[in-house]
Amino acid sequence: MKSRLIWLVVVALLVVGIYVVSRPQLPEVTLVALSAGLVENSVANTRAGTVKACQRSKLSLPIGGQIAQLYVREGEQVAEGQLLMSLWNDDRAAQVEQAKATEMSISNERKSICIAAASDSHESQRLASLLDKNLVSSERADLALAKSASSAAACEAAKAREVQARASVTLAEAVLAQTYLHAPFAGSVAEVTGELGEFSTPSPPGVQTPPAIDLLTANCHYISAPIDEVDASHITIGMPVRVTLDAFRDRSFAATVRRISTYVLDLEKQARTVEVEAELSEDQQMPLLLAGYSADMEIVLDAKALALRVPTELLVDEKFVLALDENNRVQRHELVLGLSNWHFSEILSGAQRGDKVIANIGAQGVVEGAEVRVVDAP
């Protein structure tokens, strides 16, 4: 009898053990309490933006010719107006000297003619005075007057030829200047195309050829990025921007919107976008930026410093959160939301500070109506 009782107890324990082992485990959830904090309404670029130099010129000479001198190297800092490159120009320099010599000759000729004109004018006036006293004949006085007028006309013609000669010098100097390439602004030489003795060719319309000198500012940059046309309509000049760079992933940079394009890019096979530019704020710890770095911008449209908020990633169908009832069953709570971005969403109503919502909403078995077990967040 006693052994039979022991056997029954063993069987009962086995049944209980099998039930406990085979009983399905409840899904585990972690909870997070709602709190107050900064909430922003922001938009971001649809494709990677770019760091651009404030000034960049791909310089070429207006004429083709053989490179005679290269005065700079790649990476060199240059001042505004500094000579960068020159072409062979002995023939043009000779034309300048010829024009200057012609100008000098015509100038001296003008002086001679005008001196004679002044003398003829004086003689005409003298004879006119004598004519009034009947000391000379009227014919002689008339001849002197005509000669004076002719000399004066010759003097004016000589002055015109001198102006023409001076213009010829200016033209010859302008033609010579086409063989010199100067820096239009202070910056850094990014690239030099060509070597001494090679032929430099300007870029004709419609034909893309490498520039002779690629010059850009090394200490002044801005960010340019495409924004979806729907979001761009909410952006205004002066809005704050947070800029992140792939080259410096551990930090962000403050900027402000400085320009919004006046037209929409409608390139084939892509969403229509508007180009937006942001000016970087002064930062003593700004790292060395290179034109061409990829960049992303987050434009803050509106913000509240102490708003009841929920992490946007915890929203279901953009307006619900998952919470637990008194029986530890999952249930939906509808919220009325205000400002929102991909980080946080403002709660206008539907929840209070301190309310707890489920944090691991994507976990297996965590669905509305399911009984779950609460565990501490890792």
DSSP 7-29: HHHHHHHHHHHHHHHHSPPPPEE
Average pLDDT, integer, range 164-186:
95
Q: How confident is the model at residue 4 (pLDDT cuts 50, 70, 90)?
A: low
Residue 20: what pLDDT?
45
Dig out the tokens for 203 from the structure. 């870029």
Cα–Cα distance, 256 to 280 (Å, whole number): 7
- Tokens 């979001």 belong to which residue? 231
Average pLDDT, integer, range 193-198:
89
* Closest CA relative to residue 86, chosen from 67, 62, 73, 72: 67
Give me the chain's average pLDDT, please: 88
- Per-domain residue ranges of the chain: 28-40+304-374, 49-53+219-303, 63-87+179-215, 90-177
> Which residues does residue 255 pair with via DSSP β-bridges, in sequence order?
241, 280
pTM: predicted TM-score of the whole model, two decimal places: 0.68
Residue 188: what pLDDT?
93
Residue 1: what pLDDT?
55
pLDDT in tens, 72-88: 999 999 999 999 999 99
Residue 6: what pLDDT?
67
Cα–Cα distance, 200 to 180 (Å, whole number): 12
Ranking 14-18, 289-293, 367-371 by mean pLDDT, the lowest is: 14-18
Higher pLDDT, 59 or 366: 59
- Angstrom distances, CA of residue 301 to CA of 49, 163, 241, 256, 318: 19, 63, 9, 11, 20
Q: How confident is the model at residue 277 (pLDDT cuts 50, 70, 90)?
A: very high
Q: Does domain 63-87+179-215 correspond to CATH entry 2.40.50.100?
A: yes
Residue 93: what pLDDT?
95
Dig out the tokens for 135 from the structure. 């000391």
Percent of the chain residues past pLDDT 90, beyond the cut = 50
- Are 272 and 266 spatial neighbours (Cβ–Cβ below 8 Å)? yes
Helix, strand, coil shares of the chain as percentages rounded to 5? 30, 35, 35
Residue 170: what pLDDT?
96
pLDDT in tens, 219-274: 889 999 999 998 888 999 999 999 999 988 888 899 999 999 999 988 766 788 99
Average pLDDT, integer, range 12-26:
58
Dig out the tokens for 343 from the structure. 């980080």
Residue 378: what pLDDT?
57
Instruction: Write out 103-119 in H/E/C secondary structure.
Output: HHHHHHHHHHHHHHHHH
Backbone angles phi, psi at 326, to 5 degrees: -65, -20
Residue 13: what pLDDT?
64
Ranking 54-58, 138-142, 204-208 by mean pLDDT, the lowest is: 204-208
Residue 80: what pLDDT?
94
Q: How confident is the model at residue 57 (pLDDT cuts 50, 70, 90)?
A: very high
| CATH dotted code for 28-40+304-374 | 2.40.420.20
Instruction: Write out 177-219 in H/E/C secondary structure.
Output: HCCEEECCCCEEEEEECCCCCCEECCCCCCCCCCCCEEEECCC
Residue 24 has pLDDT above 80, yes or no: no
* Closest CA relative to residue 51, chosen from 326, 365, 346, 291: 291
Q: Which residues contact 352 (CB under 8 A, 6 or more apart)?
A: 34, 308
Residue 189: what pLDDT?
94
How many CB atoms sit inside 10 A of residue 60's CB? 19
Residue 64 has pLDDT above 60, yes or no: yes
Residue 376 has pLDDT above 80, yes or no: no
- Cα 289 to chain centroid, rounded: 13
Q: How confident is the model at residue 374 (pLDDT cuts 50, 70, 90)?
A: confident
Ranking 16-25, 63-72, 169-178, 219-228 by mean pLDDT, the lowest is: 16-25
Residue 208: what pLDDT?
73
**DSSP-assigned letter for residue 281:** P
Average pLDDT, integer, range 102-107:
94
Give the CATH H-level superfamily of domain 49-53+219-303. Efflux pump adaptor protein, beta barrel domain (2.40.30.170)
Residue 19 has pLDDT above 60, yes or no: no
pLDDT in tens, 42-53: 899 988 999 999
Q: How confident is the model at residue 204 (pLDDT cuts 50, 70, 90)?
A: low
28-40+304-374 and 63-87+179-215 agree in CATH topology: no
Percent of the chain residues past pLDDT 70, beyond the cut = 91
Alpha helices in 50-137, H assignment, sequence order:
90-132
* Closest CA relative to residue 227, chosen from 296, 276, 279, 293: 276
